[in-house]
């Protein structure tokens, strides 16, 4: 597609710099007009029939400005320009009509990436963030996250982001057979300078729809990812992905608490081994009950359940004293084989009880999100 670009930037030096960037972006980008005053762009710019507007919102009421430009240019895509990412106001900008967001100055490659990511579909305004929490280790949540992410991507054909926030012992990179050039450490280090377009470069594509922000390469790098930086990554990722799945370390710690607080849903995942797992789960749920919206935001999942049937699910719910969202069968052998081969257990045995269980959980997530999306 050819883009006729209208550039609105108040800073004289910046407008010259960005004009050069547009010229370097390739034959598909033509700068048809540029203005320092938004009023001039709203009046004179219509003569040039732009279909892409780069609009400076610094020091202005971005929502009202975007609303005005949408009225004058109803067929054009509007990308906001700012010196910093403004997480708190992004949803209002999108609801006003903005398609995307760029932190200036930006490169020609970043402009191309922004147009590809946002010009047609726009930034996400109703993403669903899910944290997968376990009271203790060895819960099977990493395998669940990987297979669930792939299932959500395939069933919805929408963008799914996975964040490995198990900062010392995360192994999603190993699970997906990835060798990332950048990890959550680099993303945290750079987050104050990033926008959704540039953050996306830190996620490694696993498929057309699933992208993974890999965990630390070494356990001693845990101190390189602060809680504020992690929170900023999660907030910014909301503008990129319709579904976000976060793996966190076991137990209540600053990382798992921060991710859970920012999530729309927390799945408490426990592997049944015949010990005190139900008791641990019950104690964890008691802590989450401090949330006023606990019943809406917290769900329980049990893995390695045998037999994996409705009667067993009902028994677990009765013993736990809480509803159980999903039960996953004991499929250790196929999960291990899939991990060794760099594939998904769902793909090795697509008709298995494991596949059916994860499909049911995915359908539950999609169904709840569709209702929320339709009402937004």
Mean pLDDT, the chain, rounded, equals 89
State how far Cα 64 lies from the chain centre.
Answer: 27
Residue 139 has pLDDT above 90, yes or no: no
Residue 51 has pLDDT above 60, yes or no: yes
The two beta strands, 204-205 and 210-213, are: antiparallel
Structural Rg of the chain based on CA atoms: 23
Q: Which pLDDT belongs to residue 189? A: 94
Q: Which pLDDT belongs to residue 95? A: 86
Residue 248 has pLDDT above 50, yes or no: yes
In terms of Cβ atoms closer than 10 Å to its own Cβ (0-12, 13-18, 19+), residue 88 is: exposed
In terms of Cβ atoms closer than 10 Å to its own Cβ (0-12, 13-18, 19+), residue 155 is: middle
Residue, of 227 and 274, whose pLDDT is higher: 227
Residue, of 137 and 368, whose pLDDT is higher: 137
Cis-peptide, bond into residue 225, ω within 30° of zero: no
Q: Which pLDDT belongs to residue 221? A: 87
Whether 3-118 and 128-375 share one fold: the answer is yes
Q: How confident is the model at residue 124 (pLDDT cuts 50, 70, 90)?
A: low
Q: Which pLDDT belongs to residue 129? A: 96
Residue pLDDT, tens place only, 289-344:
999 999 999 999 999 998 989 999 999 999 999 999 999 998 766 666 666 566 66
Residue, of 258 and 221, whose pLDDT is higher: 258
Q: Which pLDDT belongs to residue 375? A: 36
Whole-number percent of the chain with pLDDT over 90: 65
Whole-number percent of the chain with pLDDT over 70: 91
Q: Which pLDDT belongs to residue 337? A: 66
Range name among 71-85, 116-130, 131-145 with the lowest pLDDT average: 116-130
Q: Which pLDDT belongs to residue 343? A: 66
Residue 180 has pLDDT above 80, yes or no: yes
Mean pLDDT of 37-49: 94
Residue, of 367 and 21, whose pLDDT is higher: 21
Residue, of 33 and 59, whose pLDDT is higher: 33
Q: What is the DSSP string of 182-240?
A: S-HHHHHHHGGG--HHHHGGGSEESSSSEEEE---SSGGGGGGS-HHHHHHHHHHHTTT
Closest CA to 70 of 42, 33, 92: 42
Q: Give CATH for domain 3-118.
A: 3.40.50.2300
What span, in angstroms and rounded, lies between the C-alpha atoms of 176 and 340? 10
Closest CA to 194 of 101, 286, 272: 101
Question: With contact defined as beta carbons under 8 Å apart, do 278 and 302 qualify?
Answer: no
- H or E stretch at 161: strand 160-164
Residue 77 has pLDDT above 70, yes or no: yes
Q: Which pLDDT belongs to residue 373? A: 36
Mean pLDDT of 149-161: 93
Q: How confident is the model at residue 89 (pLDDT cuts 50, 70, 90)?
A: confident
Token output for 281: 């789960």
Residue 206 has pLDDT above 50, yes or no: yes
Question: With contact defined as beta carbons under 8 Å apart, do 106 and 21 qualify?
Answer: yes
Domain locations along the chain:
3-118, 128-375
What span, in angstroms and rounded, lies between the C-alpha atoms of 152 and 150? 6
Q: Give CATH for domain 128-375.
A: 3.40.50.300
Question: With contact defined as beta carbons under 8 Å apart, do 247 and 142 qualify?
Answer: yes
Residue 196 has pLDDT above 50, yes or no: yes
Mean pLDDT of 167-191: 90
Indicate the pTM of the whole model.
0.83
């Amino acid at each position: 597609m050819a883009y006729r670009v209208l550039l609105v930037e108040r800073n004289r030096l910046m407008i010259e710099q960005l004009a050069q960037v547009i010229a370097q972006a390739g034959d598909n980008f033509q700068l048809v007009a540029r203005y320092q005053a938004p009023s001039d762009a709203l009046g004179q710019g219509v003569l040039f029939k732009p279909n892409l507007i780069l609009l400076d919102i610094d020091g202005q009421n971005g929502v009202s400005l975007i609303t005005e430009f949408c009225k004058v240019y109803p067929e054009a895509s509007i990308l906001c320009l700012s010196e910093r990412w403004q997480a708190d106001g992004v949803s209002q900008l999108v609801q006003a009509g903005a398609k995307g967001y760029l932190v200036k100055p930006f490169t020609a490659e970043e402009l191309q990436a922004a147009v590809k990511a946002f010009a047609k579909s726009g930034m996400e305004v109703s993403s669903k963030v899910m944290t997968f929490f376990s009271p203790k280790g060895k819960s099977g949540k990493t395998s669940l996250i990987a297979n669930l992410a792939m299932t959500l991507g395939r069933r919805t054909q929408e963008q799914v982001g996975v964040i490995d926030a198990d900062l010392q012992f995360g192994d999603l990179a190993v699970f997906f057979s990835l060798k990332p050039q950048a990890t959550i450490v680099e993303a945290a280090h750079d987050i104050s300078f990033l926008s959704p377009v540039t953050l996306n470069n830190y996620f490694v594509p696993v498929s057309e729809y699933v992208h993974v922000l890999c965990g630390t390469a070494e356990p001693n790098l845990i101190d390189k990812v602060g809680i504020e930086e992690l929170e900023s990554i999660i907030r910014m990722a909301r503008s990129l992905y319709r579904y976000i799945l976060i793996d966190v370390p076991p137990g209540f710690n600053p990382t798992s608490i921060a991710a859970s607080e920012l999530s729309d849903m927390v799945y408490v995942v426990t592997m049944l081994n015949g010990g005190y797992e139900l008791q641990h789960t019950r104690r964890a749920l008691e802590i989450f009950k401090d949330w006023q919206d606990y019943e809406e935001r917290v769900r329980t999942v049990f893995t390695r359940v045998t037999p994996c049937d409705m009667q067993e699910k009902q028994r677990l719910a009765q013993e736990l004293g809480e509803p159980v969202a999903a039960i996953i069968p004991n499929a250790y052998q196929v999960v291990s084989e899939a991990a060794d081969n760099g594939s998904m257990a769902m793909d090795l045995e697509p008709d298995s009880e494991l596949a059916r269980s994860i499909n049911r959980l995915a359908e539950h997530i999609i169904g709840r999100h569709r209702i929320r999306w339709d009402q937004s």
